[in-house]
Structure 1
Amino acid sequence: MTRSFLFLLGSSRTGGNTEALARLAAEQLPAGAGQRWLHLDDLPLPDFEDLRHEGDGRYPAPTGHAATLLDATLEATDLVLASPLYWYSVSTTTKRYLDHWSGWMRVPGLDFRPRMAGRTLWGVTALAGAPGDADPLVGTLRHTARYMRMEFGGVLLGNGTRPGDVAGDDEAARQAKTFFTP
């Protein structure tokens, strides 16, 4: 099976440290692996509204940006959430995207959760601190993968505060070269 990677960029800054690190890792993908890059700021989602306990608890089929993100998500074998570390977790746009999964699991006939099973969830993040500061972010992604019965590929961490700083993180660059290798 040919792998198809969806890179979801969750930074408020285009071309920031997290994106640069994700692109470095993506350069190492095999030639046949598909890549699709989407910036979540370009596809804004409304705040998630929990309707589970209203009416029959079903959600309507997504439309607009939500439908675009849903389709892209389901087309990928590998989902890469590239989010800088914001207050010890993923960015707001990344969290909002994940929140919408709750609704997608309740769209009649979509079978979102069973269809996500077996895919691989990855994370890439830049942070300005100790690697342990990213533990809550890593936990969020690991638990999400487990709940969805996905494989968890891990999180590639890079150090960078100011734009371009991650280019000086030699350890992150070394890890990026084999990050997506099974």
Structure 2
Amino acid sequence: MNVPEGAQKATVAAGCFWGVEHMYRHTFDGKGLLDARVGYCGGDSKNPGYREVCSGRTGHAEALQVVFDPKQVTYRQLLEFFYRMHDPTTMNRQGPDTGSQYRSAIFFHDEEQEKVAKEVTEKVQKEWWKDGKVVTEVLPGGEWYDAETYHQKYLDVNPGGYECPSHFLRKFPPLSA
């Protein structure tokens, strides 16, 4: 993914990537989101395809990678949204989707992102998800593989397509500073 000068990249996994992409695009389009792509991250095999990733044998997660303008939206804001829009307390599962490819993960791209990801995750555990243990992995970004073309903007192209029932915005108070 091409990152223009001054822009940054963020990569998250929160279950079925169609709904994750759809929610980020509709929330941040025109508000700092420059690009969003669904794909695969966090696994061992090279150039995995959808069926291979769905088998659970590649170690990859279905993920979303966004390019954003940090002058309009911060990395912290993107991560807070991530924690509002899925359930980070279910190991390898979102709604009916099960397997390591549906895990909750933040793939950081530098030391600052790692620091912010760990801080936000800690606050989210203490302030928002007190009743369950947050199982979100915070890992180095590693190799990214774009998903096949038909997966990109899937819910825009297929408005009646599958949406994971655990993808919705929860109403939490702002996190403490």
> Is the pair's TM-score, using the shorter chain for normalization, greater than 0.5?
no
Larger Rg: 1
TM-score (norm 1): 0.30
TM-score (norm 2): 0.31
| Larger helix fraction of residues | 1
